[in-house]
Structures are given as structure tokens and as C-alpha cells.
Homo-oligomer: A and B are copies of this chain.
């Protein structure tokens, strides 16, 4: 059985304060273990800060971009092996595995392009030079330089490839070394990725470290120039926000947590229209892709009263065709198991809670009969669609993120302001998708709900043929959301680098500022 170690301080070492076993969620077979051992976490940080930071800071944006390009290429070359591991350790279908792994390569490549565009410089200028004295001689220029510390990344179990890559891309391009810790249960893919990067020698020494298992007391050693970025549950986020470094030394923390993402069908969208088709495609994809284990998955589907039956019927027709099972055993399988036993129990319990406040739409309580694995093993849950005609009073709908193939159709009046009130009850989310071909529906609704989201997806006939759906996080667009969603910001092109940089105002003789920044 494969034994996973950490790559820290420039070597592979057993570092977890407890051993842990990784399973195949389709078969419940043990497939790897995390090696127990001891390491000096303070030294691990110091190594990254010294070796990694020095190496990256000495490179231009263009050179850092080349590193990201080489990382993207490495993943692309190792794609088939990673897909196999994602199926083994995550229960991913081939499509789900590609979504994760190709998403990782694509994001690295997108940041590589940004590096190439920023070119042969190490200082990022922020805005234009400004006159601040009586004459232009006394001027100001804001700049951004990498924080002189290490970026600690703690990722969620659902995207072992993309999670590592999207965080690392922005940090490395900004010039900060990364220590990446995946969720232990699905660490096989990210572990292999790091092995591949090392085999191809694409990164400077100390630029990327990797933690298998527990990170011990690492967080207690974070200093004021370090940053901490986390994707996962709000319970863990609370613990991280309370760590000494964050509280006492102003360590910047970025959190991406729970999100009750909504979709809204506007009253103008007719059954059978292209926009209706886009809507059904998007909500069904989001329910089933990655077995609903996406932070961007749609949990609340708001539909005008009179369309509820049509929507439930259209979705049910699609869901009924969905083959659920072990993706490795049957190429017809379109939805695998949830990733772990813990997830399985959580999803089951979540369905119970939701069912207590809603009616059945499709799939009962998600029982799998005659599907899943043959011997009754595996963490399989069938797609569950619930329905409510009393959305304003359905607490579970707005606060209980059931992280599986579970969603709820909720009736609303059809007015944009009513939709806004229901959307806001989610208390902040990553993305909401709105479907309409009535421009006034968007112009009314967007200003009411934008402050509650990091992203709004505006579905309409004209873009239907090009859209990857709201669940796909694109490197050019912001990822994160306020309130319940954690209050963070990732990606968004250059915007995602800001977290890893200190912004500094320079004031002085215009010619001296130009000598520093290269901007005339």
C-alpha cells in the first residue's frame, strides 16, 4: 500500500502526528496510508521563507509564469495517471476527474499567461503615478510586492488537483512560496502531482512544499508576512481565524466556506425555450457533477409558482437516466459515490433534515437500489430533488448545505424583489445564477443581490451555447463570497494575487519613483 509523506524542508518525510488510511469510496478498500512521523514545523516554515521566497522574489513575473506553464504541462502529461488516482481515491467518474485535473492545468496556464503579460519586472504597479505636490515633481505611485513570508494553503477534499493549483498559481506568480495541505482523505491526487513536479524539476527549491496528514503546530508559527488560505467548512474556518498568528500578528487569512448557491428562473422564460434548456442543463449538471460535492453547486432552485411542476418534471426525467455506481467498474456510470464515509453520513443526515421541511421531487431519500457496488459496499447516494412552496419559512433550505447530489426547487412569486429576499436568506454565497431573456429582470435583480456574492452568472439565450454553467470557476473571474461563504477572494486574474502582495504607496521625486518602477 502506498505510503504518503510530506515534502517539506526540501525532502520527503513522514510528518503527520497520526497515521491515516485512504479508501476507495466505491469499494471501501484501503488504498494508501499517510505516514506518521515528526517534523519541526517552525523549521519547515523558515525553510520556505528563506529558500523559496528568495528564489521566487529574484524571478520576474515572466519567469514565474514559465514555472506555472511547466506545472500545467506536467499535469497535462500525467493526466491519465491522475484520472485513475482520482477515480480510486475520490470515486470520480472520468468526467469528474477531468473537471478537477484539467481545471488545475487550465488555471496554471491562465496565470502563466498573466505572468508573460506582466513581463520582465518584479514590481507590479498599482494605478497610475499621481501628482501630490504643487508640481508634478512631488508624486506618488502605488506598487505591489510579494509579502516576505510563506503562503499556507489548506484545501478541501473535493478538488485535490484544482484546489492545489488554483491557490498555488496566484501565490507563486505573486512571488510567495507555498505550503499546500490537501484534505487527508483524498490526498492521493495532490500527492502525486507534487511528485510529478519534483520529477520534472519545474519549481525552484523551497517554492512548493506539501503536507500529508496533520500539520501539527505549524499554524502557531505563522508570522506577520505569512498568509493563510483555506477552503472547507465554516467550523474549521472558525478555528483558523482564532489562531495566534491571525489574532496577534495580523496574518492575512482568506476563507472560502459554505455556500447555499441559488439559481433563479425568471417568469419570462418559456418551457422549451433555449434559456429554459440552459437552466435545466445547469441545475442538473450542478446536482450530479462530482456527486454534488462542489462548493459552487446549486442548492436552491427558485422557480415561479406556475413553473414548479414543469421544472421538477424536466429535472426528474434527466435524473432518472443517471447511472450511479463505481466509475472504475462500469463505463456507463455518470455519478460516483461521495468521497468518504463521513461525507456519506453527513449527506444522509442532511437529506433527513431537508426532507423534514420539504416535499419529494425526485429520488426519495437517495437510496440506491440495484445500483452502486454489487456487494453493498461504497458511499453511494442517489440524486435527491426536494420541493417547497414555502421558501421564506424553510430554514433548512437557506442554511443547511447538504454536500452531495441534493437540491431543492422552491417556488417564488416571479418578482425580482421577492427573488432577492430569498437569495439573501442564504447570508452570502459564492455564486447565484439568474436565467432570463428580459433585460429588466437582470437590471433590477443584480444590484439587489450582488453584495451577497462573489459571482453572478446571468444565463440567457445569447450566451447559452458558450456557457460552462455557473458551477465552473474560471481563472479570470473572482471566486469567493461574503458572509457564510467566508468573505474571501480568489482568482479573478490579477485580483487573486493581491492577497499575496503588500500594496505600498511610494511618495517622492517623480524621477526617483520612475527609476524604481520603470513607469514614466
Contacts and interface: CB of A to CB of B under 8 A. Distances in A.
Interface of A: 122-123, 126-127, 130, 132-135, 137-138, 140, 142-143, 145-148, 223-225, 234, 237-238, 241-242, 246-252, 255, 257, 424, 427-428, 439, 442-443, 446-447, 450-460, 462-463, 466-467, 474, 476-478, 482-487, 489, 492-493, 495, 501-509, 511-513, 515-516
A457 to B, nearest CB: 5
A502 B450 contact: yes
B255 A462 contact: no
A270 to B, nearest CB: 18
B132 A502 contact: no
Contact of A509 (B132, B462, B501, B504): B462
Contact of A505 (B126, B246, B454): B454
A447 B508 CA distance: 15
Contact of A486 (B250, B446, B456, B513): B250
Most chain B CB neighbours (cut-off 10 Å) among A135, A427, A503, A515: A503
Nearest to A135: B466
B137 A462 contact: yes
Contact of A476 (B140, B247, B446): B140
Nearest to A241: B247
Contact of A512 (B140, B248, B439): B439
Contacts of A122: 447
Given A132-B474, A466-B133, A482-B225, A451 B140 contact: no
A38 to B, nearest CB: 29
Given A143-B450, A250-B487, A466 B148 contact: no
A247 B238 contact: yes
Contact of A495 (B439, B466, B503): B503
Contact of A487 (B224, B237, B478): B224
18 contacts: A132-B476, A133-B463, A133-B466, A138-B463, A145-B450, A146-B451, A224-B482, A234-B248, A250-B428, A250-B483, A252-B487, A443-B515, A458-B506, A458-B507, A459-B508, A478-B503, A478-B505, A495-B503
A135 B453 CA distance: 26
B147 A451 contact: yes
Given A138-B466, A143-B450, A250-B483, 9 more contacts: A145-B451, A147-B451, A241-B241, A250-B428, A250-B484, A250-B487, A442-B516, A452-B502, A460-B509
Contacts of A487: 224, 250-252
Among A225, A250, A459: residue with most chain B CB under 10 A: A250
B495 A477 contact: no
Contacts of A123: 447
Contacts of A250: 237, 255, 257, 428, 482-487
A467 B138 contact: yes
Contacts of A457: 507-508
Contacts of A450: 143, 145, 502, 504, 506
A147 to B, nearest CB: 5
Given A242-B242, A483-B250, A428 B225 contact: yes
Contacts of A132: 474, 476-477
Among A130, A477, A486, A489, max chain B CB count under 10 A is at: A477
Contact of A456 (B224, B249, B489, B504): B504
Contacts of A460: 508-509, 512
Nearest to A424: B148
Nearest to A441: B512
A450 B248 CA distance: 21
Nearest to A514: B439
Given A145-B450, A447-B122, A474-B132, A455 B504 contact: yes
A9 B452 CA distance: 25
Contact of A147 (B127, B482, B501): B482
A289 to B, nearest CB: 18
Given A250-B482, A442-B515, A462-B137, A477 B505 contact: yes
A511 to B, nearest CB: 7
Contacts of A516: 442-443, 446-447
B505 A467 contact: no
B506 A456 contact: yes
A514 to B, nearest CB: 10
Contacts of A478: 142, 503-505
B451 A148 contact: yes
Given A130-B476, A146-B451, A508-B463, A483 B515 contact: no
B452 A225 contact: yes
List the 8 closest pairs (A to B, CB-CB), nearest first. A224-B483, A458-B508, A250-B487, A133-B466, A477-B505, A138-B466, A451-B502, A462-B509
Contacts of A223: 427, 483
B504 A134 contact: no
A137 B463 contact: yes
